[in-house]
Amino acid sequence: MFRILIVDDDPAIRLLLQRTLKKQGYDAIVAEDGMQGLQKAETENPALIICDWMMPHLDGIEVCRNVKANAGLSTTFFILLTSLGSVEDRVRGLDAGADDFLSKPIEMNELKARVRAGLRLHQLSRDLQHQKRLLEDELAEAADYVQSLLPSPIAAPVDISARFIPSRQLGGDCFDFYWLDDDRLVVYLVDAAGHGLKAALPSLSVLNLLRSQALPNLDYGRPSAVLSALNSAFQISDRNDKYFTAWYGVYHRPSRTLTYASGGHPPAILVSSTTAPQPLRTPGLPVGMFPEADYQDATVTIDPSSSLYIFSDGIYEINLKDGSLYGLDPFIELLDQAHKGGSGTVEAVVEKVSDLNPLSYFEDDLSLLRLVF
């Protein structure tokens, strides 16, 4: 049974509306003024409110504004009862959040029809909210599943830690690191375009494909060859419009060299205590965008005092309070200062970035890996 709240300072109108709506099978409750109406709206959570416009102390416009500002009453349908018929008055009512109007003197058949229409919209809003909650729960479960697939930190012979923070919507970040053999360490990060399950699936497919080494005749110790193989396996088609960026590196422990290749991805940043930060990126289009994409290897020697940061763009593409974008260059400076100041852990870096973010969440997935050599 739908509950309907009637707010009117005229006892005759309250009684007439209450009796009429009860005969229609509704649970009709009444309030004598705007303040009492707001209190009953919060405690009774009605599906629909019929509220007189002209009342002392708190008029219908203010009641409507307060109801619409209450998240718990977001699906409540609000009908303003008024003898005011000008366009300007209707505009005022709509601006306050009114969903419909009912003119005085009240025509009972019109009242019944508008109530039925309002309750249909209320039920539709409730159903949509329910579906939204189900979808959010499913996305949260999917984010937990992605988290469960990510590798655990390792301490030696290379100290690797990582942080993954999914946005409100599941995104396309995924990463892995493991020893290919006794001498070679593989580390990579993939970021699929877009959000939702459709973006997460390509990243998870890459993770499973590389972890199982299912790509045939491939040297997984050669980054450019790996990206080329992925580019062939994940080409955009009529059924799949997703591409992804990737950074892939192989650290050779005996020679202390890191060979890497990237495809449209932000550079990894090599920082040390004695030199300026060094961006590590090679030319290359995002993976899956064009069949003829070419990927190149580069090699760098790792100084013992170095740390390597690999990340997705969600960690620096942040809209600041003043409306400007934080950006890559300030983030590189943050990494350099944190490393030289002894506060370069992934937790400390993410905390610094979170302090810059005016929102309580990140608008894109955030992934950050730190390798200490």
Q: Where are the domains of the chain?
A: 3-133, 150-372
Tens-place pLDDT, residues 93-129: 888 999 999 988 899 999 999 999 999 999 999 999 9
Query: Of 198-202, 224-228, 321-325, which one has max mean pLDDT?
Result: 224-228
Residues of the chain with pLDDT > 90, as a percent, come to: 73
Q: For position 251, what pLDDT does the model report?
A: 98
Cα-based distances in Å from 269 to 193, 300, 314, 370: 22, 12, 15, 10
Radius of gyration over every alpha carbon of the chain, rounded to an integer in angstroms: 30
Instruction: Grade residue 240 by pLDDT with cuts at 50, 70 and 90.
Output: low
Reported confidence tier of residue 199, pLDDT bands at 50, 70, 90 = confident
pLDDT at 239: 53
Q: 7 exposed, middle or buried (CB, 10 Å; 0-12, 13-18, 19+)?
A: buried
CA distance 42 to 111: 24
The 3-state DSSP composition of the chain as helix, strand, coil percent (nearest 5) reads 40, 25, 40
Mean residue pLDDT of the chain comes to 92
**pLDDT tens-digit readout, 132-147:** 888 778 777 877 888 8
The dotted CATH code for 3-133 is: 3.40.50.2300
Whether 195 has a pLDDT exceeding 60, the answer reads: yes
- Binned at pLDDT 50, 70 and 90, residue 221 comes out as very high
Poorest-pLDDT segment among 80-89, 244-253, 296-305, 309-318: 80-89
Q: Is the pLDDT of residue 158 over 90?
A: yes
The per-residue pLDDT for range 276-290, each reduced to its tens digit, is 999 999 999 999 999
Fold of the CATH domain 150-372? Phosphatase 2c; domain 1 (3.60.40)
**Side chain identity, residue 194:** G
Average pLDDT on 75-87 reads 85
Between 172 and 279, whose confidence is greater?
A: 279
pLDDT at 58: 93
Q: What is the pLDDT of residue 365?
A: 86
Longest dimension (CA), the chain: 92
Angle at 340 between CA 334 and CA 344, to 5 degrees: 60
For every residue of 309-372, DSSP letters joined together read EEE-GGGT--B-TTS-B--HHHHHHHHHHHHHTT--SHHHHHHHHHHH-SSSS-SS-EEEEEEE
* 244-284 per-position pLDDT tens digit: 999 999 999 999 999 999 999 999 999 998 899 999 999 99
